């Protein structure tokens, strides 16, 4: 696929104006429709205007671009032209001052890419052991039969796995209860009103700020203890403690905390809801569920070592997760702010406007994914590989800001599914399965119960 993305001033070129979506009110535009049914609004914009659609949200003009070519054009423009930092400013009180979205593009790039050593293959091996161990602990007292509420179950499990892999053993062992409270307060501070003003004097933001302060103290305690005792870990915290900026300076405790929180936020809820969807979608497709169970049970028939290489063998399991993620991408709308007048695919974008890619709308295009509305994990299999078209599958974004944790996330979700399906059979009990549109990260709406029974091996 070729790119026609060019960033330049538009004075001398005649460019098209993006088609505008009908309706909306002065200033707030389509914000009320968005608050009521965000995906409905985006889908309507696509249905009525096509692959380029403009509407107004939170007082901003937003142009939605859909389709692999448009995604590529948008994701390839540099931060100086299309800035994520400017669009995600609402996260600054959560991550902290001077960290990630409150710094220059170069500094942000350096900070986020300091995580690379923690995401290398040799580290991944240690994480699969941790994730399998945490999953086994969660099911240790399940007995032969019972019932779980899947959203709560995966929320708790992934908070244990993320806190242990990212923050370290100490958090998991000593601070997990307080950590869960503090983290919940931080998360509850991410509400759509923050796009307009993230510093309003409302209880949710006051709690968010107190939680950020406390989490900073908790991380500092761990960092200081490790520094003075000489004990180290194989986690993200240790990686950041040992990292240096290109000018040779080390990170402050405040920066370490902010980068860890950014990764927790990027990775925890997204993985939790995707694991829940992966199980729920499998249970709605009994034939494919049977194939995945057989794959898992065959692989672990002789040994229950849930290691990195074993996970590589679980290709049908991976397709199931990818398909759940295609149909239900938790980050359903990705934003950039135009820092200067620019052009995307011949359309004029004005300085100050926002542009967006919506993975959920993009993944519903039949022209890109055959029978796109159907759950069909085999679309990733040999001969089809529909996710191979560049910039078609955008659950993890694309380009310079593509998800840094995608391999870790897939490994984590696969390991959890492998341990569960190797030990138990599952079935739905009949709760309605719908999406929770009240959250910024979309997931299944609780409560959704699932019955389990000790599994019969092949
Ligand atoms: C199912 C799980 C996940 C999904 C669906 C997901 C999705 C995404 C998406 C769509 C983006 C791009 C955002 C944009 O372009 O505006 C992104 C960025 C990012 N993700 Fe993930 N993510 C997941 C898990 C993780 C995990 C586990 C980590 C860390 C361990 C992580 C770390 C990051 C970071 C640091 C970025 C920012 C990259 C940058 O701006 O340069 N993510 N993620």
pLDDT band at 12 (very low <50, low <70, confident <90, very high): low
CA–centroid distance, residue 144 to ligand 1 (Å): 37
**Does 388 map to a domain?**
yes
Q: In the 8-state DSSP scheme, what is residue 160?
A: H
**Does 16 map to a domain?**
no
CA–centroid distance, residue 265 to ligand 1 (Å): 9
Exposure letters 355-364 (e unless 16+ CB within 10 A, then b): bbbbbbbbbb
pLDDT band at 120 (very low <50, low <70, confident <90, very high): confident
- The answer to whether the CB of 84 falls within 8 A of the CB of 101 is yes
The highest-confidence range among 7-16, 119-128, 253-262, by mean pLDDT, is 253-262
CA–centroid distance, residue 294 to ligand 1 (Å): 31
The answer to whether residue 9 scores a pLDDT higher than 70 is no
| Model confidence pLDDT, tens digit, residues 177-227 | 888 889 889 988 888 788 788 999 999 999 999 999 998 899 888 888 988
The answer to whether residue 1 scores a pLDDT higher than 70 is no
The residue whose two tokens read 């535009």 is 29
Take atom 40 of ligand 1 and give the residue whose Cα is closest.
Answer: 401
Number of compact structural domains in the chain: 1
- The answer to whether the CB of 83 falls within 8 A of the CB of 336 is yes
pLDDT band at 13 (very low <50, low <70, confident <90, very high): low
Q: Which of 26, 88, 34, 10 is nearest to 18 (CA)?
A: 10
Q: What is the pLDDT of residue 10?
A: 45
The answer to whether residue 7 scores a pLDDT higher than 70 is no
Helix (H) or strand (E) holding 184: helix 176-188
CATH number of domain containing 82: 1.10.630.10
Q: What is the pLDDT of residue 2?
A: 34
Q: How far apart are CA 109 and CA 103, in angstroms?
A: 10
pLDDT band at 344 (very low <50, low <70, confident <90, very high): very high
Strand, coil or helix: what is 98? coil
CA neighbours within 13 Å on the CB side: how many for 311? 27
Q: How far apart are CA 433 and CA 436, in angstroms?
A: 10
Q: Is the CB of 139 under 6 A from ligand 1?
A: no
**Does 230 map to a domain?**
yes
**Does 13 map to a domain?**
no
Q: In the 8-state DSSP scheme, what is residue 374?
A: S
Q: Is the CB of 186 under 6 A from ligand 1?
A: no
Q: What is the mean pLDDT of residues 288-308?
A: 94
Query: In sequence order, what are the residues at sequence separation of 6 or more whose Cβ sits closer than 8 angstroms to the Cβ of residue 156?
Result: 138
Q: Relative to the CA of 273, which ligand 1 atom is closest? A: 1
pTM, entire model: 0.93
- The answer to whether the CB of 417 falls within 8 A of the CB of 275 is yes
CA–centroid distance, residue 381 to ligand 1 (Å): 24
Q: How far apart are CA 209 and CA 189, in angstroms?
A: 9
% pLDDT > 70, the chain? 97
Residues paired with residue 424 on neighbouring β-strands, in sequence order: 454
Q: What is the mean pLDDT of residues 268-293?
A: 97
Q: Which of 34, 352, 17, 362 is nearest to 193 (CA)?
A: 34
Supply the mean pLDDT for the chain.
92
The residue whose two tokens read 């601070």 is 175
| Percent of residues in the chain assigned helix, strand, coil, to nearest 5 | 55, 10, 35
Report strand pairing: 354-357 vs 60-65: parallel
Q: Which of 323, 273, 322 is nearest to 445 (CA)?
A: 273
Q: Is the CB of 267 under 6 A from ligand 1?
A: yes
Q: What is the mean pLDDT of residues 256-272?
A: 92
| Model confidence pLDDT, tens digit, residues 372-429 | 999 999 999 999 999 999 999 999 999 999 999 999 999 999 999 999 999 999 999 9
Q: What is the pLDDT of residue 457?
A: 61
**Does 253 map to a domain?**
yes
The answer to whether residue 367 scores a pLDDT higher than 50 is yes
**Does 17 map to a domain?**
no
**Does 146 map to a domain?**
yes
The answer to whether residue 163 scores a pLDDT higher than 50 is yes
Show the tokens assigned to 254. 């405040």
CA–centroid distance, residue 57 to ligand 1 (Å): 23
Q: How far apart are CA 75 and CA 86, in angstroms?
A: 15
CA–centroid distance, residue 400 to ligand 1 (Å): 12
The answer to whether residue 11 scores a pLDDT higher than 60 is no
Take atom 31 of ligand 1 and give the residue whose Cα is closest.
Answer: 405
Q: Is the CB of 404 under 6 A from ligand 1?
A: yes
Which residue segment(s) compose the domain that 198 sits in? Answer: 31-454
Q: Is the CB of 263 under 6 A from ligand 1?
A: yes
Q: Is the CB of 334 under 6 A from ligand 1?
A: yes
């Amino acid at each position: 696929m070729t790119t026609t993305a060019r960033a330049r001033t538009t004075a001398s070129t005649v460019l098209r104006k993006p088609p505008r979506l009908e309706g909306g009110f002065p200033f707030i535009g389509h914000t009320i429709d968005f608050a009521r049914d965000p995906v409905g609004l985006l889908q309507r914009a696509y249905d009525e205007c096509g692959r380029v659609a403009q509407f107004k949200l939170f007082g901003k003009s937003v142009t939605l671009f859909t389709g692999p070519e448009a995604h590529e054009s948008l994701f390839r423009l540099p931060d100086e032209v299309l800035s994520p930092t400017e669009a995600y400013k609402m996260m600054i009180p959560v991550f902290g001052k001077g960290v990630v979205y409150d710094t220059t593009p170069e500094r942000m790039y350096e900070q986020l890419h300091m995580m690379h050593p923690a995401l290398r293959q040799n580290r991944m091996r240690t994480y699969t052991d941790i994730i399998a161990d945490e999953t086994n602990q969660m099911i240790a007292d399940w007995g032969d039969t019972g019932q779980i509420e899947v959203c709560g179950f995966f929320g708790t499990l992934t908070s244990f796995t993320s806190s242990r892999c990212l923050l370290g053993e100490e958090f998991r062992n000593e601070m997990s209860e307080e950590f869960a409270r503090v983290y919940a307060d931080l998360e509850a501070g991410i509400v759509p009103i923050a796009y307009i003003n993230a510093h309003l004097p409302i209880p949710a933001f006051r709690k968010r700020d107190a939680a950020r302060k406390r989490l900073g103290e908790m991380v500092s305690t761990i960092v200081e203890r490790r520094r003075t005792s000489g004990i180290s870990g194989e986690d993200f915290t240790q990686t950041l403690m040992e990292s240096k900026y290109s000018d040779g300076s080390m990170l402050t405790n405040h920066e370490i905390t902010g980068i860890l929180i950014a990764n927790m936020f990027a990775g925890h809820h997204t993985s939790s809801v995707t694991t829940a969807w992966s199980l729920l979608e499998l249970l709605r497709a009994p034939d494919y569920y049977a194939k995945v169970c057989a794959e898992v049970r065959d692989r672990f028939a002789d040994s229950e070592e849930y290691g990195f290489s074993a996970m590589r063998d679980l290709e049908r399991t991976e397709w199931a997760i990818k398909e759940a993620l295609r149909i239900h991408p938790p980050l359903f709308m990705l934003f950039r702010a135009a820092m200067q007048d620019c052009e995307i695919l011949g359309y004029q974008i004005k300085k100050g406007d926002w542009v967006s890619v919506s993975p959920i709308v993009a993944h519903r295009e039949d022209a890109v994914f055959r029978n796109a509305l159907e759950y069909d994990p085999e679309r990733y299999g040999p001969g089809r590989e529909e996710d191979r078209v560049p910039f078609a599958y955008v659950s993890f974004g694309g380009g310079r800001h593509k998800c840094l944790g995608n391999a870790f996330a897939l490994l984590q979700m696969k390991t959890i599914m492998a341990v569960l399906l190797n030990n138990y059979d599952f079935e739905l009990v009949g709760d309605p399965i719908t999406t929770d549109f009240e959250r910024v990260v979309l997931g299944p709406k609780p409560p959704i119960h699932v019955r389990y029974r000790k599994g019969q091996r092949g």
